[in-house]
Amino acid sequence: DVKVTQSSRYLVKRTGEKVFLECVQDMDHENMFWYRQDPGLGLRLIYFSYDVKMKEKGDIPEGYSVSREKKERFSLILESASTNQTSMYLCASSFERAGGTDTQYFGPGTRLTVL
Amino acid sequence: AQKVTQAQTEISVVEKEDVTLDCVYETRDTTYYLFWYKQPPSGELVFLIRRNSFDEQNEISGRYSWNFQKSTSSFNFTITASQVVDSAVYFCALSATNYGGATNKLIFGTGTLLAVQP
């Protein structure tokens, strides 16, 4: 079974704090993704990584950065948290499939509140 | 542009009723992939099905069935004899494309909240 874990289920931070969200997968997947989920907007891609130290911006990268130093771990960083970053954050991973789209497997999510 | 529309924001049914969740997509590609995920109250998205654009056969898995119709760009999901445990948000997703080919990124619909009452 694929397992994607996220460091926290719930997190409360203050405006201006630096926030780290960690994601680990155990299936040797090449691709890893960070999404945020907001009511009425579905899932929106923040960043994804297709290899160690490689990253690509998604649809809403502003205010976020990422780090992938090891294949199994993908971190999302909020350099200076703001209240509009209060959201549910979901991590996912998948195999790289040339010319196709493999299934993404998701972690349990981190519900971040910024006060 | 690629897009996924789930027009039903919320559906409420009574246990044992059949229910269909609609998904309409837009893409210019001939090769693409469609997915359904379930998100129960616990929050984790659970993969249900992956379908490529060349496989229009309908699929049945227990009480779940999917109807893929390229002619109407729809990939609808039916739950037969619904149960309270089916209560969740259901997302439909489409593979994003880049330079004419499917990529590993997904475009999600806004989700349909299904509430199954006992």
Question: What residues of chain A lie within 8 A of the CB of B33, using their CB?
Answer: 100-101
| Nearest-by-Cβ selection for A101 from B43, B95, B109 | B95
**CB distance A43–B101 less than 8 Å?**
no
DSSP state string for A21-68: EEEEESS--SEEEEEEEETTTEEEEEEEEEETTEEEE-S--TTEEEEE
Q: DSSP 3-state assignment of B93? A: strand
Residue B99: pLDDT band (50, 70, 90) is low
User: Which DSSP letter does residue A84 get?
Assistant: G
Average pLDDT, integer, range A80-103: 90
Please state, in angstroms and rounded to a whole number, the distance separating the CA atoms of residues B38 and B111: 9
Residue A99: pLDDT band (50, 70, 90) is low
| Nearest-by-Cβ selection for B104 from A41, A101, A106 | A101
Please state, in angstroms and rounded to a whole number, the distance separating the CA atoms of residues A59 and A66: 14
Please state, in angstroms and rounded to a whole number, the distance separating the CA atoms of residues B91 and B95: 13
Which one has a higher pLDDT value, B99 or B116? B116
Q: What is the pLDDT of residue A96?
A: 82
